[in-house]
Amino acid sequence: MESHLRAIQNEGKIDLTYLTLVSKNALFFMSQDRHLELRNKVLKHIGPAKMKKWEQIIDQIINEQINSITETTSVDLIKQFTYPLYRKATQRLLGVNSSNPENFEYWVTRLQELLEPLLPIRTLKQMEVAFKDLIIQLKAGNSLKEEINENPPSLLSELLNWNNPKFNQDDIFSAVLVLYGASINVSQTLANIIYHLLSAPNSIRESASDPKWVKNNLEYLIKIGASPKYVHRIATKDQKFGEYFIAEKDNVLLDLPAIHSNGCPYQNSEKWEENILQKKFHLAFGQGIHYCVGAGYSRFIIRKAIPVLFNKFKNIDLQSKTPDLGNLNQAVSLNSLFVTFKNI
């Protein structure tokens, strides 16, 4: 990606300094030693083995968020639960503070676009301005931060103290920005899962308040709710898969909803009983060397948040069975998730 952007920059005589900086430090596009070193460092602080350390903070944020919801006529669970939960917990985990939070959040939600190959030049120019702004805000937010004794320290603090000559300060801020942008999947996936559970047969839906049931069925829930639409790869050799022939250097797009659900994931609600105990294998977090570094954290927060929601509100119902689908090219996501409260 980095060399691709440099080529566009030189050919098109446009300045893509920040876009190149962000791509250079986006684990998705990195390779070899630099990739592995950053990956391992990130996993060392926020990997699955570290979640116990974060449990108290995550529990507290989930509880604060759930307690802020009052039973009015209808509530948008994305606006009032999944999104603020993702934002607060992930900002604390990664150490993200911004000097202009509203503008920051807007552009961060558009980071997913960068993953799309072959973007038009005008979008690249827009992204350059946005990334420049985001990095400046992130740095300013970090310097404004009060000197408190963070326990556990955020990922940003750990990375800034890293002393690895391959990563300067700009590289570190860029890497953290990408991680934060990638984390929006937590809000989208959690919202999708809640939608599926609210559409499920009663027996399944009632189980959602049981932490043990959620833990045991987490992989299935993630499989049907995962928000990423595609995994992109460039084929490194000629290969045949069944009836498909893929030539070296072909741009290969793995369509995750097609692989997981044979189509639109929002239409699979009747298949729960037969599927719940099987087909747990999925590609929701990718596979291999680029396997999601946020998978442990995502599993942890999703597994914790679902029973808290379904315990507190045993009486919620979807306001409409028709999902309010978003139109993001890269994510299966909902714009809103309105629920109403039954009198029980």
| Chain residues in the site for ligand HEM (CB under 6 A) | 27-28, 39, 179, 182-183, 185-186, 189, 226-228, 231, 284-286, 290, 292-294, 297-298
From the CB of 155, what's the least distance to ligand HEM, in Å?
A: 8
Cβ-based nearer residue to ligand HEM, 45 or 205: 45
- When the beta carbons of 74 and 179 are compared against ligand HEM, the nearer one is 179
Which CB, 37 or 71, lies closer to ligand HEM? 37
- Closer to ligand HEM by Cβ: residue 75 or 331: 331
Residues in Cβ contact with 72 at an 8 Å cutoff, skipping those fewer than 6 apart:
none
| Nearest residue (CB) to ligand HEM, 41 versus 205 | 41
Half-sphere exposure for 80 (CA within 13 Å, toward CB) = 15
Q: The tokens of 266 are what?
A: 């929002």
Shortest Cβ 203–ligand HEM spacing (Å): 25
Picking from 327, 30, 321, 113, the residue whose alpha carbon sits closest to that of residue 337 is: 321
Distance CA 172, CA 64 (A): 30
Cβ neighbours, 10 Å, residue 305: 26
- Nearest approach, Cβ of 1 to ligand HEM (angstroms)? 11
Q: Under the phi-then-psi rule, with left for phi > 0, alpha for psi from -120 to 50, and beta for the rest, what region is 152?
A: beta
Output the smallest distance, CB 283 to ligand HEM, in A: 7
* Count of Cβ atoms closer than 10 Å to residue 342 Cβ: 10
Q: In this chain, which residue has its C-beta nearest to ligand HEM? A: 294
Site of tokens 């929006």: 184
Residue 70 Cα distances to 20, 21, 60, 320, angstroms:
45, 43, 18, 20
Amino acid letter for position 169: Q
The C-alpha angle 87, 21, 176, rounded to 5 degrees, equals: 25
Query: Of 287 and 315, which has the nearer Cβ to ligand HEM?
Result: 287
Nearer to ligand HEM, 47 or 211 (CB): 47
Residue listed under structure tokens 């920005």: 177
- Looking at the Cβ atoms of 183 and 209, the one nearer to ligand HEM is 183
Q: How far is the CB of 253 from ligand HEM (least distance, A)?
A: 11
- Residue 73: CB minimum distance to ligand HEM, A: 30
Cis peptide bond prior to 152, omega within 30° of 0: yes
Q: How is residue 60 written in tokens?
A: 């507290």
Angle at alpha carbon of residue 301, lines to 197 and 82, rounded to 5°: 60
DSSP character at residue 84 = H
Min dist CB 36 to ligand HEM, Å, is 9
Smallest gap from residue 103 Cβ to ligand HEM (A):
21
C-beta closer to ligand HEM: residue 103 or 330 = 330
The CB-of-241 to ligand HEM minimum distance in angstroms stands at: 17
The structure tokens listed for 242 are: 């069944």
CB–CB of 336/76 below 8 Å? Answer: yes
Q: What is the dihedral of CA 303, 308, 314, 315, to 10 degrees?
A: -100
Tokens of 315: 């009486």
